[in-house]
Amino acid sequence: MITVRISRGAFNPDDYDRIAKLLDESRLRLDPSIRRLEGCLHYWAGIDGSSNTMVNVSVWRSLNEAREMETLTEMKLLADEITKLGVRFERPINNYEVLWEI
């Protein structure tokens, strides 16, 4: 069952530049660790200045493989760092079963 995992966070407008920089730079830390996880088909990190939100969206072969992100040390450390900058994450992070695709 293909699964889409979406993590969403909101921040104050004045923090956009700091959050965007940290999110962009996070690839260097996260890329190797995410690639080692079984079942990750795609991963995106994005930010929107008009809504002052950021997302991490990933696509997985299965729900169990998507849940591996819950224990990824590098992701936990980054979440702590971003939270200290004022990002408020929606909890829980949701994993969606894909019903159809184009």
Q: Are 47 and 16 in contact (CB under 8 A)?
A: yes
- Torsions phi, psi for 80 (to 5 deg): -60, -45
Query: Would you state the pLDDT for residue 67?
Result: 97
Confidence band (pLDDT; 50, 70, 90) for 95? very high
24-28 average pLDDT score = 95
pLDDT one-digit tens code per residue, 29-57: 999 999 999 999 999 999 999 999 999 99
Half-sphere exposure in the Cβ direction for 81 (13 Å, CA): 14
- Class of domain 3-97 as given by CATH: alpha beta
Q: Where are the domains of the chain?
A: 3-97
Query: Would you state the pLDDT for residue 91?
Result: 95
Query: Would you state the pLDDT for residue 101?
Result: 93
Q: How far apart are CA 40 and CA 61, in angstroms?
A: 7
Query: Would you state the pLDDT for residue 16?
Result: 97
User: How remote is the C-alpha of 33 from its chain's centroid?
Assistant: 13
Query: Would you state the pLDDT for residue 102?
Result: 95
